[in-house]
C-alpha cells in the first residue's frame, strides 16, 4: 500500500538531479565556446597588436634618440658683444660699420659721437643684427682697424621662453573662463566682480605677452656695441710723471691766473676807491675851511704906544 507513495519522491529527486546535470553541462559548453572564441579573437588580433607595439616602440626609440642629446638652438640664446677698434678715419669706419649691419639685415640702434681736447673723434654704435649673421658681422667689424678690446657673451634663455609660453597659454584659458562666467552671470554684483577679475587677468596676460616679445627680440637679434677711436684707448697707461716743461707750464699758468685775480680785485675796488677820494676832496676843500675860524681863538691887539700911558 505504501510502496507507490514512497517511490514518487525518489522519481522527483532523480529528475531534479538530471535537470541540474544537463544545466551544468550546457553552461560549461557555453563557457568553453566563449573561451574558445575569445582565444581565437586574441590569436587573430595578436599580429596587429604586435605590429602596433613594434611601431610604438620604434617611435619611442626614435623620440628617445632625438631627445637624448638636446641641442641649443639660436632661438633660445641671447648674444651680445662689445668691440673697441682704433681706426685712422672714424667717419669712414662708421659708414662701413653701418653698411655691414644693414647688409646683414640689421640696423643701427643708437649712435653717439664726441671729440677729445686734442680734436680726435670718437664714435659709439649699438648695432642689432640677426643671430645667424652674428659671427660674420663681428669678424667684419673687428677687421676694420686695430682691435683694442673685445667682449662676447651668450646667454641661454630656452627655459625662460618655455615657461613664458606655458604661462601665456594658461592665462589665456583663464581669461576665456572668466568671460564665459560673465556671459552666464545674471546678478549685477557677480558681473562687477567678474569684470574686476577679468581686468586683472588681462593685465597679467599683457605683461606676459610683452615679456615674450622682449625675449623674441633679444634672441632673434644680437646686440653689438662698437667703439671707434682715432687715439689709443689705453693712452693713460704710459708714464704720466710731470717733467721740467710741465712744471714750467704749470707755473706760468699759476702766474697768469694770479695776475688775472689781482686785476679782478683792482677792478672791483676801483669804484670804492673813487668814492673815497671824492669824499676826501669834499672834506679838504669845502668842510674843513668852514670849520677852521670857529676853532682858532682871536688874538687881542696890544696898545701901539705903551710908554705914553705911563708917562701921562
Query: With bands split at pLDDT 50, 70 and 90, how would you rate the model's confidence at 207?
Result: very high
pLDDT at 161 over 70: yes
pLDDT of residue 126: 92
Q: Are residues 92 and 143 in the same domain?
A: yes
pLDDT of residue 13: 52
Residues 148, 131, 125: CA angle, nearest 5 degrees? 40
Residue 6: inside a domain: no
pLDDT of residue 304: 53
| Segment 66-107, tens digit of pLDDT | 444 344 445 789 999 999 999 888 888 889 999 998 999 999
Instruction: Lowest mean pLDDT of 171-180, 219-228, 279-288, name the range.
Output: 279-288
pLDDT of residue 209: 95
Residue 289: inside a domain: no
pLDDT at 166 over 50: yes
Per the CB < 8 A criterion, the answer to whether 150 and 80 are in contact is no
pLDDT at 196 over 70: yes
Residue that finishes a domain, picked among 167, 202, 229: 229
Instruction: Give the pLDDT mean for 59-66.
Output: 42
State how far the Cα of 86 lies from the Cα of 147, in Å rounded to an integer.
Answer: 6
pLDDT at 237 over 50: no
Q: Are residues 210 and 195 in the same domain?
A: yes
CATH assignment of the domain containing 92: 3.30.70.260
Residue 250: inside a domain: no
| Segment 97-107, tens digit of pLDDT | 999 989 999 99
pLDDT of residue 2: 44
Q: Note down the domain range covering 203.
A: 159-218
Residue 138: inside a domain: yes
pLDDT at 149 over 70: yes
Q: Are residues 149 and 204 in the same domain?
A: no
pLDDT of residue 177: 92
Residue 86: inside a domain: yes
| Segment 264-312, tens digit of pLDDT | 888 888 888 888 888 888 888 887 777 765 544 555 555 555 555 444 4
Residue 58: inside a domain: no
Instruction: Give the pLDDT mean for 245-265.
Output: 86
pLDDT of residue 222: 92
Residue that finishes a domain, picked among 172, 194, 229: 229
pLDDT at 50 over 80: no
pLDDT of residue 42: 38
Residue 123: inside a domain: yes
- If one counts the domains in the chain, the total is 2
pLDDT of residue 300: 54
Residue 9: inside a domain: no
Residue that finishes a domain, picked among 181, 198, 229: 229
Q: Which residue has the higher pLDDT, 70 or 127?
A: 127
Mean pLDDT taken over the chain? 74
pLDDT of residue 224: 92
Instruction: Give the pLDDT mean for 141-155.
Output: 88
Q: Are residues 130 and 141 in the same domain?
A: yes
pLDDT at 41 over 60: no
pLDDT of residue 81: 92
Instruction: Give the pLDDT mean for 49-70.
Output: 42
Amino acid at each position: 500500500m505504501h510502496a507507490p507513495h514512497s517511490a514518487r519522491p525518489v522519481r522527483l529527486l532523480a529528475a531534479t538531479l538530471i535537470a541540474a546535470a544537463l544545466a551544468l553541462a550546457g553552461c560549461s559548453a557555453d563557457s568553453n565556446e566563449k573561451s574558445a572564441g575569445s582565444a581565437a579573437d586574441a590569436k587573430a588580433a595578436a599580429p596587429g597588436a604586435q605590429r602596433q607595439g613594434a611601431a610604438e616602440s620604434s617611435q619611442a626609440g626614435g623620440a628617445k634618440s632625438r631627445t637624448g642629446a638636446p641641442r641649443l638652438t639660436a632661438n633660445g640664446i641671447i648674444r651680445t658683444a662689445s668691440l673697441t677698434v682704433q681706426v685712422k678715419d672714424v667717419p669712414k669706419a662708421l659708414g662701413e660699420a653701418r653698411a655691414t649691419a644693414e647688409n646683414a639685415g640689421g640696423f643701427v640702434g643708437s649712435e653717439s659721437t664726441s671729440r677729445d681736447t686734442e680734436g680726435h673723434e670718437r664714435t659709439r654704435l649699438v648695432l642689432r643684427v640677426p643671430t645667424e649673421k652674428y659671427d660674420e658681422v663681428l669678424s667684419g667689424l673687428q677687421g676694420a682697424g686695430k682691435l683694442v678690446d673685445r667682449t662676447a657673451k651668450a646667454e641661454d634663455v630656452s627655459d625662460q621662453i618655455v615657461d613664458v609660453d606655458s604661462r601665456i597659454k594658461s592665462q589665456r584659458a583663464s581669461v576665456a573662463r572668466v568671460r564665459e562666467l560673465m556671459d552666464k552671470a545674471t546678478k549685477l554684483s557677480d558681473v562687477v566682480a567678474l569684470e574686476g577679475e577679468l581686468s586683472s587677468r588681462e593685465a597679467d596676460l599683457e605683461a606676459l605677452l610683452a615679456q615674450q616679445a622682449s625675449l623674441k627680440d633679444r634672441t632673434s637679434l644680437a646686440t653689438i656695441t662698437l667703439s671707434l677711436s682715432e687715439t689709443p684707448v689705453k693712452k693713460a697707461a704710459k708714464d704720466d710723471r710731470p717733467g721740467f716743461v710741465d712744471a714750467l707750464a704749470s707755473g706760468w699758468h699759476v702766474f697768469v691766473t694770479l695776475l688775472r685775480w689781482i686785476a679782478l680785485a683792482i677792478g672791483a675796488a676801483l669804484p670804492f676807491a673813487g668814492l673815497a677820494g671824492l669824499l676826501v676832496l669834499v672834506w679838504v676843500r669845502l668842510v674843513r675851511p668852514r670849520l677852521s675860524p670857529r676853532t682858532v681863538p682871536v688874538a687881542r691887539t696890544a696898545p701901539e704906544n705903551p710908554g705914553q700911558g705911563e708917562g701921562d
